[in-house]
């Protein structure tokens, strides 16, 4: 079958790989000049099956209100005017509020853990088959707390994860420092933590580009530097996709020829941009961008740097070692498609990451800002979030049009499994996990999935 995948991030490339595994003819289209140059470029680097709690919980509305006037808030809601794209933000926000209760939270956790476990297994299969190296560390993930009130909730969160098969355990400060000695200088500030040995970390950008190379070697065609101009329908089905090379790919010309790609199946895996693209053919999904930030710091003292990937509960950021650098990523800003790093708000959020690393790991990284002679690598990307944090994976009402988007902050965690699952669905197979696929009726045990 001829399949066109729109998007060459971790989700799109993983989908392409698994489609090739099943014998399909694959073309991947992306507006960037290489794979993984947008949201998959500099994320938190965690494969966090055990730390997949959705943003929506019973405390989220109060926290969002409390944080609205803090430039460095972990979750910052920036209200837009309720017109045009701003209406999508308000709609998303109302649906998000509807998920802020214990029943919805547990239901969503169950789905996310199922997808995470399936995806982790799929990732190991791909790594075993390809030998791709990407600064992988299989040392688990530790979550440390500096406030007793927050730590008091850790046992309930760990118990919920264990209920669905994830071995997250509560640990004392002493146990946490034994697991990751790099925290010793900060130890007096820590009141306890949790730890899951089965999680891991690695560079999503490096992995995705390497996997794209393996796909190309197996015959996949990559149309980099191409914009999707739109879908062309025939009745209730997609007939072709119109794409056009950007001027940089067309010898500087602005009138590059429009190409019409015909395919039996089209997969939309464009992250936050999936929603507006799908709306052009009447498929309206509540996927909205959450602007996240990261900083990548050169290690000054590699021997004192952590190997265990970590989550800082106070500022809601993640820390992961990538060779001789430390990646710190976090904060979510719900306020549209802005990707600027030079605004006062963006600078404040970047400085917060640098400041926190210096507090937790003093002197370990070069956290100096440019004005002080440092060379921090700050980055921002749009996390494609749904109100539930559960992605849309499956078949749209438009025949031949599929979607694999809405993974929020868990694109790297869920990428390999999402790609495999969608390739299975397109091939008429049944993914072996308890997950609600978009466009398919829930199946009873032993029964095949059936389209709605």
pLDDT digit of tens for each residue in the chain (452 aa)? 999 999 999 999 999 999 999 999 999 999 999 999 999 999 999 999 999 999 999 999 998 888 888 888 888 888 888 888 889 999 999 999 999 999 999 999 999 999 999 999 999 999 999 999 999 999 999 999 999 999 999 999 999 999 999 999 999 999 999 999 999 999 999 999 999 999 999 999 999 999 999 999 999 999 999 999 999 999 999 999 999 999 876 555 556 789 999 999 999 999 999 999 999 999 999 999 999 999 999 999 999 999 999 999 999 999 999 999 999 999 899 999 999 999 999 999 999 999 999 999 999 999 987 766 666 799 999 999 999 999 999 999 999 999 999 999 999 999 999 999 999 999 999 999 999 999 997 554 445 676 77
CA distances from 231 to 221, 237, 276, 345 (A): 19, 10, 12, 37
Cα end-to-end distance, the chain, whole Å:
22
pLDDT value at residue 67: 84
* DSSP 8-state assignment for residue 364: T
Question: What's the CA gap between 147 and 190, in Å, rounded?
Answer: 8
DSSP assignment letter at 212: H
| Span(s) in the chain for CATH 3.30.9.10 | 58-105+136-200+287-385
Q: Quick check: 314 and 143 in contact, CB under 8 A?
A: no
Sequence-separated (6 or more) residues with CB below 8 Å from residue 211: 13, 14, 17, 35, 126, 130, 132
Dist CA 451 CA 395 (whole Å): 8
Sign of the alpha-carbon torsion through 177, 179, 182, 183: negative
Tell me the two tokens of residue 72: 């460095």
Spatial neighbors of 393 by CB under 8 A, at least 6 apart, are: 403, 404, 418, 421, 422, 425, 435, 437, 438
The Cα-based distances of 347 to 265, 351, 352, 380 in angstroms read 42, 6, 9, 11
**Of 383, 385, 405, 384, nearest in space to 293 by CA:** 383
- Indicate the CATH number of 2-40+206-286+389-451 among 3.40.50.300, 3.50.50.60, 3.60.15.10, 3.40.190.10: 3.50.50.60
DSSP summary character for residue 204: H
Burial per residue of 411-440, b for 16 or more beta-carbon CB atoms within 10 angstroms, e otherwise: bbbbbbbbbbbbbbbbbeeebebebbbbbb
Using N-to-C axis directions, what is the helix angle for 102-130 and 411-426, rounded to 10°?
Answer: 80
Q: Quick check: helix, strand or coil at residue 195?
A: strand
**How far from 256 is each of 239, 242, 243, 248, 253, CA to CA, in Å?**
22, 12, 10, 10, 6
pLDDT of residue 354: 94
The closest alpha carbon to 416, from 10, 5, 7, 3, belongs to 10
Inter-axis angle of helices 411-426 and 204-217, nearest 10: 30
Beta carbons of 204 and 320 less than 8 angstroms apart: no
Sign of the C-alpha dihedral computed for residues 200, 205, 207 and 211 taken in this order: positive
Q: Which two tokens stand for residue 447?
A: 């029964």
Distance in angstroms (rounded) separating the CA atoms of residues 291 and 216: 31
Any idea what the Cα angle at residue 42 is, between residues 165 and 125, rounded to 5°? 45
Tokens representing residue 65 in the block: 């209100």
Residue closest to 362 by CA, chosen among 297, 272, 265:
297
Report the SS3 class of residue 78: coil
According to DSSP, the residues that pair with 170 across neighbouring strands are 194
DSSP 282: T
Which regions of the chain carry the CATH code 3.50.50.60? 2-40+206-286+389-451
Q: Which of 213, 232, 144, 131 is nearest to 183 (CA)?
A: 144
CB atoms within 10 A of CB 249: 17
List Cβ neighbours of 410 (8 Å cut-off, separation of 6 or more): 48, 52, 112, 116, 389, 391
Which two tokens mark 91?
């709609």
Q: How far apart are CA 155 and CA 161, in angstroms?
A: 10
Strand-strand pairing, 258-262 and 25-30: unpaired
- Comparing C-alpha atoms, which of 394, 403, 414 is closest to residue 267? 403
Q: Which two three-digit tokens encode residue 315? A: 């500022």
CB 223 within 8 A of CB 27: yes
pLDDT for residue 445: 47
User: pLDDT value at position 442?
Assistant: 57
CATH number belonging to the domain at 58-105+136-200+287-385, selected among 3.30.9.10, 3.40.50.620, 3.40.50.300, 3.90.25.10: 3.30.9.10
pLDDT of residue 324: 96
Contacts for 342 with CB less than 8 Å, ≥ 6 apart: none
Helices 154-163, 102-130: crossing angle, 10 deg rounding: 60
């Amino acid at each position: 079958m001829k399949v066109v995948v729109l998007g060459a991030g971790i989700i799109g490339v993983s989908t392409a790989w698994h489609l090739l595994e099943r014998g399909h003819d694959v073309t991947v289209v992306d507006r960037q000049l290489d794979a993984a140059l947008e949201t998959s470029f500099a994320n938190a680097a965690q494969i966090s099956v055990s730390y997949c709690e959705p943003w929506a919980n019973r405390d989220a509305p109060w926290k969002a209100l409390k944080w609205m006037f803090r430039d460095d808030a972990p979750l910052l809601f920036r209200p837009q005017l309720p017109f045009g794209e701003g209406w999508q933000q308000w709609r998303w926000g109302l649906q998000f509020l509807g998920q802020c209760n214990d029943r919805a939270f547990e239901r969503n956790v169950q789905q996310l853990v199922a997808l995470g476990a399936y995806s982790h297994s799929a990732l190991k299969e791909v790594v075993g088959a390809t030998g791709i190296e990407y600064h992988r560390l299989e040392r688990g993930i530790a979550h440390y707390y500096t406030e007793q009130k927050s730590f008091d909730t850790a046992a309930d969160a760990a118990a919920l994860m264990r209920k669905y098969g994830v071995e997250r355990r509560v640990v004392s400060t002493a146990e946490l420092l034994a697991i990751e000695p790099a925290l010793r200088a900060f130890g007096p500030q820590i009141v306890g933590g949790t730890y899951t040995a089965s999680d891991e970390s690695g560079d999503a950008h490096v992995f995705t580009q390497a996997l794209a190379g393996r796909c190309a070697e197996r015959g996949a065609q990559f149309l980099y530097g191409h914009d999707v101009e739109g879908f062309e329908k025939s009745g209730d089905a997609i007939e072709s996709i119109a794409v056009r090379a950007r001027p940089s790919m067309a010898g500087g010309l602005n009138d590059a020829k429009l190409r019409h790609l015909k395919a039996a199946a089209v997969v939309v895996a464009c992250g936050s941009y999936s929603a507006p693209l799908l709306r052009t053919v009447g498929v309206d999904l509540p996927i909205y961008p959450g602007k996240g930030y990261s900083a990548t710091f050169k290690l000054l003292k590699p021997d004192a740097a952590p190997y265990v990937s970590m989550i800082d509960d106070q500022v809601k950021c993640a820390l992961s070692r990538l060779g001789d650098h430390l990646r710190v990523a976090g904060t979510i800003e719900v306020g549209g498609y802005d990707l600027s790093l030079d605004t006062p708000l963006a600078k404040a959020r970047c400085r917060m990451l640098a400041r926190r690393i210096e507090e937790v790991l003093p002197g370990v990284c070069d956290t100096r800002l440019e004005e002080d002679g440092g060379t921090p690598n700050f980055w921002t990307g749009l996390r494609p979030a749904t109100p539930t944090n559960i992605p849309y994976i499956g078949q749209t009402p438009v025949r031949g049009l599929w979607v694999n988007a809405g993974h929020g902050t868990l694109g790297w965690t869920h990428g390999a499994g999402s790609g495999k699952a969608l390739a299975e669905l397109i091939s008429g197979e049944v993914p072996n996990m308890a997950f609600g696929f978009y466009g398919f009726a829930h199946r009873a045990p032993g029964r095949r999935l059936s389209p709605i």
